[in-house]
Structure 1
């Protein structure tokens, strides 16, 4: 499956690329912090332990209700929308409006709670998360839109790339830039339209700072945020981004990010590493 998606075979003995190393992490890394920070409930305690209660409360999205069964959510008494999420896997979320069908809500919750996650893709960290349903406040911009996702790819506690993803529920667009907001060619666009010009990022430096603190214990992880006006909201920590199956259109960029898994390269920029890789390939081609 890895070879089908990425176009080259998976080598777990000597992984070189970013996507191959994500798969190595799935199989080899058993840090208990991976499970704790993959849990959409317990990660909130992790954020508080790292940032302190005051800063954490500023960036954590308010939660209305947490359920073990999905049968006790009092949504029929609520006159506001909310996001319903499964805490133990990726993709388990649903926008619920006032007046939503109670049967649909209960069936969805029961389906999520009865479903184990992670084994199919060998994503170990999700396996032992206690399953819960989380009812969370819906964030909206001043124009009433769902805010863009802003995702920081961090290596050894240093953000090296961010993806900005807009209109994720409709006509999704995305763009990849480095920490200095230089655009990357050849990233994981998967045929999505380019989000350009780059939208304003007034909270970029603060999100960078928070991402660095939250990602510090890990060789690699992604830290997700939302930014509305001057407010920053924490989304989640992700360790197995796209399970390592979302291809780079430029294989050399996949290699460059693979190099960032090495601590000795933590001071280098992706563009510097990418330039070096392409330069060495030219030398081989020309026989220098």
Structure 2
């Protein structure tokens, strides 16, 4: 299976054994390089606990691996909170021949169910079938060493554009022990990526993570309380997880469950804000 061989971490992943020990060496080394500290099992800091989620045997909990697959996550959402919160599926493509034969609509969203961060949004254009075929050869585990991706089958899921938007904002709710704790809002992911954090009662925080802080105000979604209820339901059997939503303020859909946000490799802006975020999540 293919993976990104470019860059320092691609080279590190290429030479390390594809074993639990190799995953640990990769993750430990990257954490130190990014955060300039050793990870701790007992220190209740945001990135330390993401790291612990990533390297613990529990990452292969069947619920985590099942819900990592974007197609199967939709089934979980439909069963747990209702199909009205599931983005419709136009097709699931598993082979290059199926990609060639599928009659793509004029506008759509396509993404690999077994990867993270890969997406194609098309409005009135032609599908990039070459890129989709490359996705079928990729394995996110080989890039990130997140073992919940290791055994997923390669598939492409095709969906309609929801809320008639191309650059839709992501509402990401971090949950700990089945309780929503911290809301992350990603704005302009495909144009000018900024990020804002909010408490669960929609008080904006003065920090960001990995991307510049969004300076403007953002109106609280009318459906936020229901989103928080759904996040609690979907996270109730997991210790630390991120539940992702799309909303127009009135209606919402579920995006995915993320079990190790950014593979524990993003730094807070400012760095001192990690303590504040950690208190909000784990306090």
TM-score bracket for the superposition, by shorter chain length = 0.7 to 0.9
Decide whether the 8 Å contact of 1:84 with 1:94 is kept in 2: yes
**Which one of the candidate residues 135, 147, 160 is aligned to 1:112?**
135
Local SS of the residue matching 2:90: strand
Task: Map 1:1-288; keep pairs closer than 5 Å.
Answer: 1-11=30-40, 13-28=41-56, 29=58, 30-51=60-81, 56-73=82-99, 77-100=103-126, 104-105=128-129, 107-141=130-164, 144=165, 146-188=167-209, 190-251=210-271, 253-255=273-275, 258=278, 270=280, 273=283
User: For residues 109 and 272 of structure 1, what CA distance do their matches in structure 2 show?
Assistant: 39
Shift of residue 252, structure 1, vs aligned partner: 5.4
How does the TM-score come out when normalised to structure 1? Answer: 0.79
How does the TM-score come out when normalised to structure 2? Answer: 0.81
In structure 2, relative to structure 1, the CA distance for the partners of 1:20 and 1:60 (3 Å cut) is same
Shift of residue 164, structure 1, vs aligned partner: 1.3
In structure 2, relative to structure 1, the CA distance for the partners of 1:110 and 1:163 (3 Å cut) is same
Local SS of the residue matching 2:197: strand
Q: Deviation above 6 Å: which 4+ runs of structure 1?
A: none
In structure 2, relative to structure 1, the CA distance for the partners of 1:151 and 1:255 (3 Å cut) is same
Shift of residue 256, structure 1, vs aligned partner: 5.4
CA deviation vs aligned residue, 1:203-258 (integer Å, no higher than 9, x gap): 11110111110111110111111112521111111011011111123555434555
Shift of residue 93, structure 1, vs aligned partner: 1.0
Structure 2 unaligned regions, length at least 5? 1-29
Structure 1 unaligned regions, length at least 5? 260-269, 274-288
User: For residues 94 and 169 of structure 2, what CA distance do their matches in structure 1 show?
Assistant: 30
Local SS of the residue matching 2:191: coil
In structure 2, relative to structure 1, the CA distance for the partners of 1:121 and 1:195 (3 Å cut) is same
